[in-house]
Amino acid sequence: MANTEHQQYGPTDIKGSVLDLIGNTPLLALDRIWPGPGRILAKCEFLNPAGSIKDRSAYSMLKYAKEEGRLKPGAPIIEVTSGNQGCGIAFVGAVMGHPVTLTMSAGNSPQRAEMMVGFGARCDRVPQVEGKPGNVTLADVDAATAAAQKIIDSTPDIFYVNQFNNPNNCRAHEEATGPEIYRQTGGRIDAYVATLGTAGSFVGTSRYLKRQNPAIKCVVVEPAGAEVIAGKEVTKPLHLLQGSGYGKVPELFDYEVMDEAMNVTDEEAVEYKKLLGSKEGLYLGYTSGANVAAAVKLLKSGKLPPDAWVVTLLNDTGLKYSELHK
């Protein structure tokens, strides 16, 4: 039938673009892994459009760069990435109408590069100088940064996102992730625990939560042997927590919002990655396993009230990893 003015339609529910699908992720109780007392409540960041928490910072950094005039219409964009940030930048750049180049250590999984290419971006995989596939070190990230710098130097008007030094990275979480968590728990949160890559998600979320209630315990999760926030010497730069634990205090980190740091071993991260699959039906990456392992350790530590609610992040989907690495 023709669309006439007499036709009656119901209310619509249509998103204008994939950008409207970023954030507002559900908060899920992991009651099968931790039946109590207390609760682990996990933010389903793997449900973001490109499968990770970094979609939030990608949009925030590009949106504000455009508003602030640092990203010109149609100008090229470049970023150094361990994969997740690059996937986010690639799809947000595509929708905003910018050509995107990513440099990434070849030690990060090829699935990430494939996704970036799927969004029409270019991904240069930079050979590793120190680590091995699945274990990416600071020196490997530095090599990917040097490769990006060469492109930046020879490309006029290119916008370098620079997630490690960009305050609009934290802002995504201070403006959205933190408020979402506070609203979803009705303000009942005893602790928030999370790994650090750039520290954008930890710092932005903790800043908001601490402003609502300074008693919320904000706990950093670090790979055992690469505990720089805890002030320890790095004895194990190679670990499985891809996208986090680079063996250096991130530029965006803020000790003011942290109460304590905990460590998680590769074995613990793998154990909880597997339990997330077999008990909760969630196929996720290693930092999600690490976050849940840390939440369990914190609940067992006796440092919180017995019925404490601990919030953490399920950072990305397991589909971003090569199981063949191990």
Closest-by-Cβ residue to ligand PLP is 243
The residues pairing with 313 across neighbouring beta strands, listed in sequence order, are 43
Which residues contact residue 277 at a Cβ distance below 8 angstroms, ignoring those fewer than 6 apart?
Answer: 283, 284, 318
In this complex, which beta carbon is closest to ligand PLP, that of residue 229 or of residue 299?
229
Residues of this chain that interact with ligand PLP (CB under 6 A) are 52, 54, 82, 84-85, 195-202, 243-244, 285, 287, 315-316
> For residues 317 and 262, what is the distance between their CA atoms, to the nearest angstrom?
23
In this complex, which beta carbon is closest to ligand PLP, that of residue 75 or of residue 139?
139
Closest CA to 259 of 308, 318, 210: 210
In this complex, which beta carbon is closest to ligand PLP, that of residue 38 or of residue 245?
245
CB of 220 to ligand PLP, least distance (A): 10
CB of 130 to ligand PLP, least distance (A): 19
Give, for 64, the enclosing helix (H) or strand (E). helix 54-67
CB of 266 to ligand PLP, least distance (A): 14
CB of 198 to ligand PLP, least distance (A): 3
CB of 184 to ligand PLP, least distance (A): 19
Which residues contact residue 215 at a Cβ distance below 8 angstroms, ignoring those fewer than 6 apart?
Answer: none
| Tokens linked to 94 | 């595509």
In this complex, which beta carbon is closest to ligand PLP, that of residue 82 or of residue 263?
82
CB 248 within 8 A of CB 138: yes
CB 142 within 8 A of CB 166: no
In this complex, which beta carbon is closest to ligand PLP, that of residue 49 or of residue 243?
243
CB of 194 to ligand PLP, least distance (A): 8
Q: E strands of 136-259, at which residues?
A: 159-160, 191-195, 217-223
In this complex, which beta carbon is closest to ligand PLP, that of residue 38 or of residue 287?
287
